[in-house]
Structure 1
Amino acid sequence: MHIALLNQHHHNPDCPATCRHFSFMEDLVQRHRVSLVTSDGWRKVRITQCYNWVPEGVELHECIAPYSNKMGVRKRLKSFAGFAGSAFKRTMQLQKPDVLWAVSTPLSTPWVAAQAAKLRGVPWVFEVQDLWPSFPIQMGAVQNSWLQQRLYNMERRLYESASHIITLSPDMTDYVASLGIPREKITTNYNGTDFCMVDAVQEQEVEALRQKYNLQGKQVVLYAGTYGRANSMPTLMQAIRSMAADRSITFVFTGNGYYEPQLQELAQQVPNLLLLPPQPRADVFKLFKLAAISLVPFNDLPVLASNSPAKFYDSLACGTPAIVTNPGWTEAFVAKYNCGWYAPAEQPEALAQTIRQVLAQPQQLQAASANGAAIARQLFDRRQLMRQVEEVLLNVVKSSAR
């Protein structure tokens, strides 16, 4: 089977980001021909040079389309449009694939796949990583009501056009189904994590980090992710300020993004915030194993309750319970499996109180750690998740042939 994957935001494990599709392609290319149409936008954020940019055997078709989490709306739109135009050309020039597999965000990438699939007479699969256009609209990036409706219409047509839809959370599946899309056309496939990297972490490496950053005797609260406008950074900063007098707790942040300058300023003012530079994929797991708990915060927006944050999966896989702030599937998940806690979004006092209560109960913390690690092995292993995606792609190709 020849699979053509369209994904504007390709990363590899040298980058400070999740590498879902790198992991998937690494396995798929052992049995199938895989062509990747992507941008060069994330090459510059490589921290190490330990991995090939794409797995060996994957055919790379790369477009020039700069991108950064620090970009404003206009620059992002320019990036999305630039990639869409180049990706369409590259996709049409490919030797005819058996199936197109398009990853959003943004919505322009599946739109390209839909047009190319129609012109080339092949099926396509729509992978929904975030709900667009709901996300940019609720974030205030698209305020014109006429344009909003046009984007919602485009979204629905894409769901109808796709041969199958893959979502990364149960709430995303419910949303797509609420638009009248048959549930048998939708597969929930968690973002997942890489247990080969989790299992590679040695205890002495974790202890070396503890010594390096003078964290002996400290309870570490970790945030590993984007310092973005959707990630409730002001809430975290207020909570940290309110807990500055408690020298037994240290907040460790690793990442970058829009709020980086404000976080750097805060780190100069309080003794309990340690800012680390972005880490390559393998090293992030060392920090999760160092931490007592991790934070998975987002703004108080309905669309964000459905998302599928990589840091949630990475944290549980390392046996690090998570505090989540959205009343969606993650809140239900940590309650059902007793592997974390919920604090209401954008309420810094409630978050600080939850952190204090959790860290004051070592037995509950230990139980949540074991529960999280166990359920993550069962549900979040990317090797198993990839098999599910492979089955979707094969079934779509078989159906198309019939």
Structure 2
Amino acid sequence: MHIAVFNQHHHSPDCPATCRHYTFLEYLAQRHSISLVTSSAWKQVRITDKHSWVPAGVQLYEQYVPYQNQMGVAQRLFSYGGFAAYSMAKGLRMPEPNVIWAVSTPLSTPWVAAKVARLRGLPWVFEVQDLWPAFPIQMGAVKSKWMQQRLYKLEKELYQSASHIITLSPDMTDYIAGLGIPAAKITTNYNGTDLELSAAIGEAEIYGLREQYQLQGKQVVLYAGTYGRANDIPTLMQAVEYLKSEPAVQFVFAGNGYYEPQLQALAKQCQNLLLLPPQPREKIFKLFKLADVSLVTFNDLPVLATNSPAKFYDSLACGTPVIVTNPGWTKSFVEKYNVGWYTPPEQAQLLAQTIKAALAAPGSLKEKGANGIAVAKTLFDRQILAKQVEQVLEQVV
């Protein structure tokens, strides 16, 4: 089977990112012919150079289209439009695939896939990583009511056009089904994690990391991810301040983004905050193994409650309990499987209290950590999730 993958945001394990599709492409390329249409933007942020840019066997069609998390609305639209034009041309000229697999975000990528699929008479699969246009609209990036209506109309048309839809969370599935899309046409496929990376980390490496950052005798609270406008960073900063008088509690933040200047200023005032640069895939697992608890926080917006954050899965795979602030499926999940805690979004004092209470109960930390490892093996193994995607692609062909 020849699978054409349209994904503007491809990256490798050398980048500070989730690498879901790298793992999936590696799995699929052992069994099928893969063509990847993508942008080279993430190449600029590689931290190491241990991995090939695409897995062996993947035919790469790549265009330089700038993209950064710090971009404004106009710059992002230019980036999305540039990639859409390139992928349209490449999609119509490449050797004919059996199926197209389009990864959103942004919504322009599945739009191109739908056009190419229609013109070439092919089935196509729509993978929804975040709900668009709800995300940019609720974040305030699209203010025109007319434009909002047009985008929602386009979204539904794409769901109807797709041969099948893959979502990364149960809440996304429920949302799409609520638009009248048949449930049989939607498959929930969690973002997942790479269990082998977690299993490869030994105690000696964790001890060395603790010494390197002078964390002996400290209880580590980890936030690993983007310091973005959707990640409720101001609440995290306030929680750091609330707990700065607790000598045993050490916050470790690894990442970059919009709020980085404010975090750097805070770290100069609060000794209980250690800022690390973005980490490649293997090193981020060491930090999760080091931590006593990790934080998965987002703003109080309905669309953010549906998302599927990579740090949630990575933390559980490493046996580190999570504190989530999404009132959606992650809240239900941590409560059902006893793998962490929920505290309401944008409530800094409650978050600080939850952190303090969690760290004061070592027995509970151990129990929730063990539960996390067990559930990750059952539900979040990317090798199993890749096979599920393969089955969807084969089914539509």
Query: TM-score normalised to the size of structure 1?
Result: 0.98
Alpha-carbon distance, 1:12 to partner:
0.3
Alpha-carbon distance, 1:63 to partner:
1.3
Deviations 1:84-104 (A, max 9, x none): 111111111110000000000
Alpha-carbon distance, 1:130 to partner:
0.1
Deviations 1:65-122 (A, max 9, x none): 1101111111111111111111111111110000000000000000000000000110
* 1:76 alignment counterpart: 76
Alpha-carbon distance, 1:267 to partner:
0.6
* 2: CA distance, partners of 1:218 / 1:156: 50
* 1:20 alignment counterpart: 20
Deviations 1:6-62 (A, max 9, x none): 000001000000000000000100110000000011000100000000001100000
- Work out whether 1:386 is the aligned partner of 2:386: yes
Alpha-carbon distance, 1:170 to partner:
0.2
- Work out whether 1:221 is the aligned partner of 2:218: no
Alpha-carbon distance, 1:216 to partner:
0.5
* 1: CA distance, partners of 2:94 / 2:178: 35
* 1:154 alignment counterpart: 154
Letter of the aligned partner of 1:320 in structure 2? T
SS of the counterpart of 1:250? strand
Unmatched runs of 5 consecutive residues or more in structure 2:
none
Percent of pairs identical after alignment? 66
* 2:264 alignment counterpart: 264
Shifted more, 287-296 versus 192-201: the winner is 192-201
Alpha-carbon distance, 1:320 to partner:
0.3
* 1:346 alignment counterpart: 346
Letter of the aligned partner of 2:377 in structure 1? R
Deviations 1:202-260 (A, max 9, x none): 11111100000000010000000000000000000011011111110000000111111
* 2:311 alignment counterpart: 311
Alpha-carbon distance, 1:200 to partner:
1.1
The correspondence of residues 292-311 of structure 1 with structure 2, limited to 5 A, is 292-311=292-311
SS of the counterpart of 2:41? coil
Equivalent pairs, count: 397
* 2:247 alignment counterpart: 247
Q: Which aligned segments of 4 or more residues in structure 1 are displaced greater than 2 angstroms?
A: none
* 2: CA distance, partners of 1:92 / 1:22: 24
CA RMSD in angstroms comes to 0.5
The correspondence of residues 267-282 of structure 1 with structure 2, limited to 5 A, is 267-282=267-282
Letter of the aligned partner of 1:47 in structure 2? I
* 2:40 alignment counterpart: 40
SS of the counterpart of 1:8? coil
Alpha-carbon distance, 1:349 to partner:
0.5
Letter of the aligned partner of 2:210 in structure 1? R
* 1:53 alignment counterpart: 53
SS of the counterpart of 1:350? helix
Alpha-carbon distance, 1:285 to partner:
0.2
* 1:230 alignment counterpart: 230
Letter of the aligned partner of 1:245 in structure 2? S
Query: TM-score normalised to the size of structure 2?
Result: 1.00
Unmatched runs of 5 consecutive residues or more in structure 1:
398-402
